[in-house]
Amino acid sequence: MQFNLLPVKLVFSVLLFFWGPSLFAQVVSGNAAKDSVSQHASINQKLKGKVFLANGQSLTGVITFYHQLELVRVKLPDITEAALSPIAVRYIEAVDLQDGYTRHFKVLPYNGLGKGYRNVPTYFEEVVPGAYTLLLRRTAKTIYANPTRVPTLNVQFDPPSSTLAPSAADQIGYKFFLQMRGQDPVALENPRKELPPLYGVHANAMRKFVRLHQLDYGNPNHLIKIVEQWNMLAK
């Protein structure tokens, strides 16, 4: 994948007016990402919408989301391009060009990127908003020897028409996180055990809801319904 470096420089010149010298700690050039992008192509995401920047400005255009690189590339209507790391971004609202659904991403501090990395600005997709926010991060997934035995996973999670069937060439992993009332996101390793103790006064109602609708915490579609119900009760 090639980047047009001249337009990127033009964008840098415009953004430098707003950010000053600190820009280079916030915006990653297309040339720097070029060598790594191709190996992560299986989980790249194409969208069209608006990126709200940390300095209060915004960029509108076609967005390529390189999840493994924590990098967003925006192609503007005038064909200039900008590549943005999370520290330069506050919020993204865009339509997924694969399934037509509007997606929301926000930047939050995260401690799970490796030893020595604390409170690092990181991209998260907001799947269920509310007091108990369900967040999502896409990752590369090990390719199975027999792809036909891998459970299908819905990219949008609802409706079934957007189900992503597994293939030997494209495996996407989905990791969920919970953000409680504006706190830092926490990874959900085992939602079946981790969520019920948090329900508090809603524990009985939530247990009945899960049983009535035969929901499985290990199913992403069901997990979303569970967290939606939790938020409704918490209002």
pLDDT digits (tens, 9 = 90+) for 205-215: 999 999 999 99
| pLDDT > 70? residue 173 | yes
For residue 71, list its beta bridge partners: 66
Among 121, 46, 127, CA closest to 90:
121
pTM, entire model: 0.72
| For residues 92-108, average pLDDT | 94
Helix (H) / strand (E) element for 71: namely strand 71-75
